[in-house]
Structure 1
Amino acid sequence: MEKEKQKEEESPKELPSDVLYLIIEKFDIDDLFSFRKVCKHWKMTSDYWSDFMASDSPLIVQKTPNAERSCSFYSIPEARTFDTSLSCFNGFSFARFSSGYMIMVGDKPDLLLINPFARKRIEIPKQDDLFSVKNSSFKKAIVANSSSSSEEFIVVILNDHEFNESNMLVYQSRVRNPAIYSSRDNGDRFNVDDVVVFHKTIYAITRDAEIGVVMLEPQGLRFLNLMNNPENYGLLKLVNSNDDQLLVVNHLPYPRFEIYMIDFSARTWIKLRTLGDRSLFSVKCNPKCYALSNPARWGFRSNCFYRLSSCYPKCEVFSMDGQFIETISIPEYPVPTNTTSQLLNYDWCFRPRRDVVDYGNLIESLSH
């Protein structure tokens, strides 16, 4: 009886919460993930994990393109690197980070989507030559769950094709064969540069500054009739600001940029002079954008534009009027000796924000 009592007293659940906190704040991502599985008590008292996952502060992905395990996440405010040793990269190269997933490009299947925080894995089967994804041609992917069932999801992938044309693939978990939206379909030469989930609807923007809703039935884009489109535009990116506004970032010759808000009630573009208590985060060579509200809470400046280099360990900060503020240096993650690549890919990682779509918004009705 005394031995059983002693064993119970020494069990993991008897560790005080403050001691647990001191332990887990030193952990990497894999350690945090495994820690919660030890016992129910540890899962319930690991507030650090909950805070880590709930944080809106972006991390920076550091990934060697063709190395199997070389991956880390760097926090600018904490000046700390979180390592991970996920071993499911074999045969794939890292392309982008999007919607909480690492997008890995391979041969069969074409795409592997890995959520490093939830250990969730999605395989996108290889398509025909029209949508043969390569690392150099991959642009973006978004993953969204259905509002009616958390088990159903939609993956939208943008891919550049030959002759400077773009294709869009819509993969639904409920449908066996993905739909491919080609710029050559039916003579409708739309070249989609970006997609985003906003108000449970998937919006797309073309190279001609047209904004449309991605439709599943009938397949295609239903364009919005908007006024005051920008006269001069470069690369256009959509941003869900997470405060009930859909933004468009107009990337002009570096380092210039413009920010617009889409006013759906007035059906017009509105140029913004300030972001208020928000900041934007982009990647220089593939300037997709994210918005962060109340950035000072997470250690970032308000009303600024953070532009991360995709190949060099630095992040440049600009004011809304395009004035350079500072360069933030990022510690270089060591390149493993078992790879021929000496480069790292850098990308922004916002911890999983659960995008949700309503299938009803993606099906044409008689009212339109």
Structure 2
Amino acid sequence: MVLQGGSDINLRRPRNKKKRLVDNNNLRPWSELPEALVHLITKQLGAIDYLMFGCVCRGWRSYVVVHRQEFMASQPPLVVFLSTLAQKSCYFYSIFDQKTYKATLPNLIGKSCYSLTCGYLVMEDKKKMGHSQIWLLNPFTRHELRFSCPPNPYSSVILASLAMPVREFVIIAIGCGYPFLQFCRSSDVNWTVYDYNDKFKGGVTDDQRWFVDVVVFKGKIYVLTNLGEIGVLNLNSHSYVTLLEVKSIGAWNYALQLLAFDDQLLMICRVEPFEKKENLVYELNFLKMEWVKMQNFGDQALFLGHRKSLGFSNITKWRDSRQSLNCIYNLGIPTDKYTIHFLGGRYPQSLTFPIIQRRRRCMHVTDDDCCVDDDFCFDDNFCFDDDCCFNDNCCFDVPSRKISIPEDSTDVQFWYFPHLSCNVDVLSDD
């Protein structure tokens, strides 16, 4: 997988015939640039520009690798546009500096992205077959993981790593409405199915409970039920869930999600339709074992989107922190809009992505079982330079270009958090 982009440089434009005399004896390679200057340069870069910077030479790449996690922690989330008809690419867009990047991905024909976990796009086959796989793809590090599909229905998955002498990954799948969860280690041949139907026996709603979300927090796996109950999942040889004695908030009518952020374990209550109503955020107080409603986010902002693309971000850590804080950035439908909900009582703002333009669908069939579009297309009113220079390891800024999507498109965009691309949540040994 390679990240690519367009350049405004026309490599075939007429050049001045006068040759400039250069004393090569006074030139030094870029790799010898002092680290202090390298640091100053990278402070002016965005997340993907930073990755591109590491492609220049080996010395800069070493610097990028060493400082990547710290740098990515200071970056705001990007919006990803990935068409359900995409063949080979997606787009990253920053709502804060209006930069657009095109990412060239491996062959996406017959695949769809339905979720995110630890910076990985979770891809699956559109047509399920016996050999279908769950394909995890990190667009920043290009790392890929493949797991066989679980034997039972599922609605979402998360990825974690095991603290072992040899690094091992584990993928956990849950299915809303089903009384079981499934998991598979990278060294396993088959999935393990944990049926928790007996866990809720004896209650009035024992047949109406199921897990709706799962998250890794401080080395442990926390699961959340549709009734707002929370428990800890243990993946040893005899898997089990221990429900915590936490007072329920009575969240039967909410769409619930868990979010681990720094030292906070949060529960997001998304009121449908969540683009138009207030979303409630609760923090779990482990001393009192109760959910406490967050009345103020302070210097932070919550980013909500589709396909489990949600997260908190401390805006003061960003390079340019002149952005709205103590608010919720919400990706909704239609695809070309997003909203900002302020906790201080200000009226919500509805904003439009300036890079999006609707167009009439133009479809064609490339084979017997796959009808595809041109991914997202550039607007014809904007020139795309065919003579752009490309690098197999980098992506380039695509300034002043619009992404054109079909008028009847049902595609949804989602948030991508750069800091999550650097590592996978680690489970503790106990």
Per the shorter chain, which TM-score range?
0.7 to 0.9
Deviation at 1:264, TM superposition (A): 1.1
1:116 aligned partner: 139
Rounded to whole Å, the distance in 2 between the matches of 1:153 and 1:12 is 38
Which one of 297, 304, 309 corresponds to residue 275 of structure 1? 297
Matched position secondary structure for 2:61? helix
Rounded to whole Å, the distance in 1 between the matches of 2:52 and 2:272 is 46
Whether 1:250 aligns to 2:266 is no
After TM superposition, the structure 1 stretch with the greater mean CA deviation from structure 2, 88-97 or 352-361, is 352-361
2:167 aligned partner: 151
Which one of 308, 311, 317 corresponds to residue 290 of structure 1? 311
2:112 aligned partner: 93
After TM superposition, the structure 1 stretch with the greater mean CA deviation from structure 2, 69-78 or 304-313, is 304-313
Please state which structure has a larger fraction of its residues in helix. 1
Do the aligned residues in 2 keep the contact of 1:233 with 1:250 (CA within 8 Å)?
Answer: no
Do the aligned residues in 1 keep the contact of 2:115 with 2:308 (CA within 8 Å)?
Answer: no
Closer/same/farther in 2, CA of residues 76 and 91 from structure 1, 3 Å limit: same
**With structure 1 as the length reference, what TM-score do the two structures score?**
0.78
Task: Give the aligned CA root-mean-square deviation in angstroms.
Answer: 3.8
Do the aligned residues in 1 keep the contact of 2:216 with 2:427 (CA within 8 Å)?
Answer: no
Uncovered stretches (5+) of structure 2, i.e. residues with no partner: 1-22, 202-206, 365-371, 376-405
Deviation at 1:221, TM superposition (A): 1.8
**Percent identity over paired residues:** 24
Matched position secondary structure for 1:43? helix
Matched position secondary structure for 1:42? helix
Closer/same/farther in 2, CA of residues 148 and 45 from structure 1, 3 Å limit: closer
1:205 aligned partner: 224
Deviation at 1:40, TM superposition (A): 1.8
Do the aligned residues in 2 keep the contact of 1:60 with 1:347 (CA within 8 Å)?
Answer: yes
Letter in 1 for 2:178: E
Do the aligned residues in 2 keep the contact of 1:99 with 1:352 (CA within 8 Å)?
Answer: no
Matched position secondary structure for 2:158? strand
Deviation at 1:356, TM superposition (A): 2.8
Do the aligned residues in 2 keep the contact of 1:143 with 1:153 (CA within 8 Å)?
Answer: yes
Matched position secondary structure for 2:418? coil
Closer/same/farther in 2, CA of residues 287 and 143 from structure 1, 3 Å limit: closer
Letter in 1 for 2:137: I
Letter in 2 for 1:172: R
1:68 aligned partner: 87
1:42 aligned partner: 60
Do the aligned residues in 1 keep the contact of 2:47 with 2:72 (CA within 8 Å)?
Answer: no
Deviation readout 1:258-317 (Å, 9 max, x if unpaired): 22111112111222222222221112x657631112457345322111111265122111
**With structure 2 as the length reference, what TM-score do the two structures score?**
0.68
Which one of 220, 224, 239 corresponds to residue 219 of structure 1? 239
Closer/same/farther in 2, CA of residues 60 and 299 from structure 1, 3 Å limit: farther
Whether 1:165 aligns to 2:178 is yes
Rounded to whole Å, the distance in 1 between the matches of 2:28 and 2:301 is 48
Rounded to whole Å, the distance in 2 between the matches of 1:325 and 1:186 is 42
Higher relative contact order (CA 8 A, sep 6+): 2
Do the aligned residues in 1 keep the contact of 2:309 with 2:415 (CA within 8 Å)?
Answer: no
Deviation readout 1:78-137 (Å, 9 max, x if unpaired): 111121111242331121233101111114433111001010001111332x23x6xxxx
Which protein is bigger by CA-based radius of gyration?
Answer: 2
2:427 aligned partner: 358
Do the aligned residues in 1 keep the contact of 2:268 with 2:281 (CA within 8 Å)?
Answer: yes
Do the aligned residues in 1 keep the contact of 2:231 with 2:242 (CA within 8 Å)?
Answer: yes
Rounded to whole Å, the distance in 2 between the matches of 1:22 and 1:346 is 31
Rounded to whole Å, the distance in 1 between the matches of 2:157 and 2:337 is 24
Do the aligned residues in 2 keep the contact of 1:59 with 1:348 (CA within 8 Å)?
Answer: yes
Uncovered stretches (5+) of structure 1, i.e. residues with no partner: 362-368
Closer/same/farther in 2, CA of residues 15 and 206 from structure 1, 3 Å limit: same
Rounded to whole Å, the distance in 2 between the matches of 1:89 and 1:120 is 16
Do the aligned residues in 1 keep the contact of 2:116 with 2:308 (CA within 8 Å)?
Answer: no
Do the aligned residues in 1 keep the contact of 2:161 with 2:170 (CA within 8 Å)?
Answer: yes
